[in-house]
Chain A
Amino acid sequence: MSTTTQTSPAPTRSAAAARHGLTFGGVLRSEWIKLWSLMSTRILILLTLVATIGVGVLTAWVRYNILDSMVAGAREQGIEPSSDMLEQSMPPGSGLDLYNLPNAGLQVGILIFGALAVLFMASEYATGMIRSTMSAVPRRTPAFLAKAIILAVVSYVITTVAGAVTFLLSLPMFQGLGVDLSWSTDGVIYSVFTGGLYVAGVALIGLSLGTLLRNSAGGITVLVGIFFVIPIASGFASLVPGDFWKYVPQYIPSEAGGRFLAIGEIDAYIDPWQGGLIFLGYVLLFLVPALLVLKKRDV
Chain B
Amino acid sequence: MIEAHDLTKTYGSKTAVGGVSFTVRAGQVTGFLGPNGAGKSTTMRMIMGLDRPTSGSVTVNGLPYAQHKAPLHEVGALLDAKAVHTSRSAYNHLLAMAATHGIAKSRVREVIEMTGLDAVARKKAGGFSLGMGQRLGIAAALLGDPQTLILDEPVNGLDPEGVLWVRNLVRYLASQGKTVFLSSHLMSEMAQTADHLVVIGRGRIIADAPVKDIIAGTRQTRTLVRTGESHQLSALLAGNGVTVDQSEPETLTVTGLEPRRIAKLALDNGVLIYELTPQVSSLEDAYFDLTKDEVEYHSHLTGGPAAAVPATAGK
Chain A contacts to B: CB under 8 angstroms: 1-23, 26-27, 29-31, 33-34, 37-40, 123-124, 127-132, 134-139, 296, 298-299
Task: Report if A3-B119 is in contact (Cβ < 8 Å); known contacts: A17-B104, A136-B101.
Answer: yes
Q: A14-B106, A131-B50 are in contact. Are A33 and B168 (CB under 8 A)?
A: no
Q: Check if A298 sits within 8 Å of B117, measured CB to CB.
A: no
Does B107 lie within 8 Å of A138, measured CB to CB?
no
Q: Which of B82, B100, B131 contacts A136 (CB 8 A)?
A: B100
Which one of A5, A27, A37 contacts B115 once the chains associate, using CB atoms below 8 Å?
A: A5
* Binary per-residue interface labels of chain B (61-96) against chain A in the complex, 1 for a CB within 8 Å, 0 otherwise: 000011011111100010110111111110011011
Chain B residues near A16: list those with CB within 8 A: 145
A5-B162, A26-B99 in contact; A14/B104 too (CB < 8 A)?
yes
Offer 14 A-B interface pairs, CB within 8 angstroms, sorted by A. Answer: A1-B119, A5-B161, A9-B173, A10-B114, A12-B176, A14-B107, A15-B144, A18-B102, A19-B73, A19-B101, A20-B102, A34-B85, A37-B88, A37-B96
**Does B97 reach chain A (CB closer than 8 Å)?**
yes
Nearest A residue (CB) for B79:
A131
- A136 x B97 contact (CB < 8 A): yes
User: Which residues 106-121 in B have Cβ within 8 Å of A in the complex?
Assistant: 106-107, 110-111, 113-117, 119-120
Q: A20 CA to B70 CA in the complex, in Å? A: 8
The reply to whether the CB of B40 lies closer than 8 angstroms to some CB of chain A is no
* A129 and B84 form a contact (CB under 8 A): yes
Chain B residues within 8 Å of A3, by CB: 116-117, 119, 132, 135, 162
Q: List, in ascending order, chain A residues with CB within 8 A of B101's CB.
A: 19-23, 26, 136
Q: How large is the interface on B (under 10, 10 to 19, 20 to 34, 35 or more residues)?
A: 35 or more
Q: Which residues of B contact A298 (CB under 8 A)?
A: 45, 50-52
The answer to whether the Cβ of B22 comes within 8 Å of any Cβ in the partner chain is no
Given contacts A6-B116, A38-B85, A298-B51, could you give 5 more A-B pairs where the C-beta distance is less than 8 Å? Answer: A1-B119, A5-B115, A6-B114, A13-B110, A22-B69
Closest to B88 in A: A37
Decide yes or no whether B48 CB sits under 8 A from chain A: yes
List the 6 shortest-distance A-B pairs measured between CB atoms, nearest first: A15-B145, A20-B102, A21-B70, A37-B92, A138-B66, A30-B99
| Contact across chains for A299 and B50 when beta carbons are under 8 A apart | yes
| CB 8 Å contact bits of B134-152 with A (1 = contact, 0 = none) | 0100001011110000000
Query: Are the C-beta atoms of A1 and B120 separated by less than 8 Å?
Result: yes
Instruction: Name the residue of chain A whose CB is nearest to the CB of B45.
Output: A298
List B contacts of A17 (CB < 8 A).
Answer: 104
Q: Counting CB contacts under 8 A, is B309 at the interface?
A: no
* Interface residue ranges, B against A (CB under 8 Å): 45, 48-52, 65-66, 68-73, 77, 79-80, 82-89, 92-93, 95-97, 99-104, 106-107, 110-111, 113-117, 119-120, 126, 129, 131-132, 135, 140, 142-145, 161-162, 164-165, 168-169, 172-173, 176
Nearest opposing residue in chain A for B97, CB measure: A136
Q: A20 vs B51: C-alpha distance in the bound complex, in angstroms?
A: 27
Measured between C-beta atoms, what is the minimum distance from B7 to chain A in Å? 14
Q: Quick check: A21 and B88 within 8 Å, CB to CB?
A: no
Collect the chain A residues with CB atoms within 8 Å of residue B84's CB.
127-129, 132
**Interface contact A7-B85, CB-CB below 8 Å:** no
A29 touches B116 (CB 8 A): no
Report the bound CA distance from A34 to B82 in whole Å: 16
Indicate if the CB atoms of A11 and B169 lie closer than 8 Å: yes
Check A40 against B87 for contact (C-beta < 8 Å). Answer: yes
Bound CA–CA A31/B96 (angstroms):
7
Q: Is the CB of B83 within 8 A of A22?
A: no
Contact A8 B82 (CB under 8 A): no
Chain B minimum-CB-distance residue to A139: B66
Closest to B73 in A: A19
A214 nearest CB across to chain B (Å): 14
Q: Is the CB of B169 within 8 A of A9?
A: yes
Cβ–Cβ contact B165 & A6, under 8 A = yes
A263 to B159, CA, bound (A): 67
CB atoms of B176 and A137 under 8 A apart: no
Do B70 and A22 have beta carbons less than 8 Å apart?
yes
A26 in contact with B89 (CB, 8 Å): no
Which residues does chain B contribute within 8 Å of A12, judged by CB atoms?
A: 145, 176
Chain B residues within 8 Å of A135, by CB: 48, 50, 71-72, 77, 79, 83
A5 to B104, CA, bound (A): 22
User: From residue A6, how far is it (CB to closest CB) to chain B in Å?
Assistant: 6
Distance between Cα atoms of A11 and B149 in the complex (Å) = 13
Q: How far is the CB of A122 from chain B (nearest CB, A)?
A: 12
Q: Could you tell me if B70 and A19 are in contact, using CB atoms closer than 8 angstroms? A: yes
Q: Are B73 and A9 in contact (CB under 8 A)?
A: no
Give the complex CA separation of A136 and B144 in angstroms. 10
User: In whole angstroms, how far apart are the Cα atoms of A31 and B168 in the complex?
Assistant: 34
- On chain A, the residues within 8 Å of B88 by CB distance are 34, 37-38, 129
Report the nearest A residue to B132, measured CB to CB: A1
Inter-chain CA distance A33–B210, complex, in Å, is 44
A216 to chain B, nearest CB (A): 13
Chain B residues with CB below 8 A from A6, complex form: 113-114, 116, 165
**A172 to chain B: closest CB distance in Å?**
41
Chain B residues near A31 (CB-CB < 8 A):
96
Closest to A15 in B: B145
A143 to chain B, nearest CB (A): 8
